[in-house]
Amino acid sequence: MAPRAIITGAAGLIGQYVMQSAARWAPGWEVHGLTRADLDLTDQAAVEQTWQRIDPQAVIHCAALSRTKDCEHQPELARRINVDATAQLARLSNDIPFIFLSSGEVFDGRQGWYREEDSPNPINVYGKTKLEAERLVLENLRHTVLRIVLTAGISQQGDRSFVEDLCRLAKRGVNASLYADEFRTPLPAGSIARAIWELCAKTVPGLYHLGGRERLSRWDIGQALLPWYPELQGRLIEGSARSHAGAPRPADLSLNCEKIQTVVSFPIPGFRSWLESRMHRDGDLWDYEPACRKR
């Protein structure tokens, strides 16, 4: 029988890519995607029942309350989903590989190019819950934490990535202010999904950072997207994080990915260089089927 893997957050951006890419990067696995409609991860009894029914040999935990604004407004819910549900899944996965998707938001953003050994210091509720969950997961030496930052891609719902957020605003005739002094290392979701499956196939648990090789401001990212999304022309405004009035946002969450690069079989790309390479190739921009935006 094929080994079974549970993918939580299967309706989220990365969860969708993990599910869709399994046939290519994990052909020997039988994947069971769980969405919020399938299972309430805060219902411990239901989680136990689902676990017993599937009896997985690996778990890839993508589900989270991930929008910082939602976490600030609902901190108790954020903790139940991001910490308590993760703790239960990690406990159930005691003897099998467990990959937990965390975030660069565990850092305060004052330094940039963060390595795995750098000390976390979250400044918002989302980052705090992710850090607490990380520590619970890493108590088991078989388990893996993968920190990521800004993820690009196309979801089935059309509302899961920053690319989709920008396009929705543009189509409504709304301008988007992109901070020129807020830095990330964005990466396509397809590359993240491939790395996840490779980690799942290898006995290399622990803490890893996975970001693109280019440190870009949000303004730089928007400019890089213009050739692919002409509807953004005239809709992007260069702004500054000094004017931000919402939930606390770290200024620089660039992640150093040297450690994970020694484990995965493919070169982790930079965002702009990846986009440029796609301009000279036919096919889907985001390596996603069946729904993908083509140039």
Q: How far apart are CA 155 and CA 193, in angstroms?
A: 13
Average pLDDT for 140-162: 89
292 close to 286: Cβ distance less than 8 angstroms: yes
37 CB neighbour count, 10 Å cutoff: 8
State the CATH architecture for 4-278. Answer: 3-Layer(aba) Sandwich (3.40)
pLDDT band at 281 (very low <50, low <70, confident <90, very high): low
- Give CA separation, 289 vs 29, 102, 193, 284, in Å: 18, 25, 13, 8
Q: Over the chain, what is the mean pLDDT? A: 92
pTM over 0.85: yes
Residue pLDDT, tens place only, 17-39: 999 999 999 999 999 999 999 99
89 close to 59: Cβ distance less than 8 angstroms: yes
Per-residue pLDDT, 286: 64
Per-residue pLDDT, 153: 86
Per-residue pLDDT, 279: 65
Q: Residue 73 carries which side chain, given as an amino acid letter?
A: H
Q: Which residue has the tokens 């819950």?
A: 129
Q: Interhelix angle for 125-137 vs 85-92, to 10°?
A: 20
Residue pLDDT, tens place only, 216-274: 999 999 999 998 889 999 999 999 999 998 889 999 999 999 999 999 999 999 999 88
Per-residue pLDDT, 261: 98
